[in-house]
Amino acid sequence: MKNPHDIIRRPVLTEKGYDGIAEKKYVFEVDINANKIEIKQALEAVFKDIKVKRVNTLRVLGRIKRQGKSQGRTPEVKKAYVTLTDDSKPIEFFEGMV
């Protein structure tokens, strides 16, 4: 198995993400090649005392950027929308942000 910290890149802290914290729904940026089972196992390994109920994933294509004549794309990103079970403890990292 890969290192869990290689699968979970960073939390996504947006207004939509903050709205889901009260309902135990969190958003993370994950490795582009990770599947739902690997994401679930990595989250349960990194954050102790949580139980993941559901993982929904989303791939976001990179935007086209221009600088004069040259153009390129920003990197492609994969997001994971994670829902915890009702009896699970919330993730401590997000507690002060609600």
Identify the band that residue 65 occupies on the pLDDT scale cut at 50, 70 and 90.
Answer: very high
Q: What is the pLDDT of residues 11-51, one digit of tens each?
A: 999 999 889 998 999 999 999 999 999 999 999 999 888 99
Is the pLDDT score of 96 beyond 80?
Answer: no
Structural tokens at position 86: 């009702």
**Structural fold of domain 4-86:** Alpha-Beta Plaits (3.30.70)
pTM attached to this predicted model: 0.87
Q: What is the DSSP letter of 44?
A: H
**pLDDT at site 85:** 94
Q: Would you state the pLDDT for residue 98?
A: 62
Residue-wise burial string across 38-60, b where 16 or more C-beta atoms lie within 10 A, e elsewhere:
bbbbbbeebbeebebeebeeeee
Stretch 65-93: mean pLDDT: 93
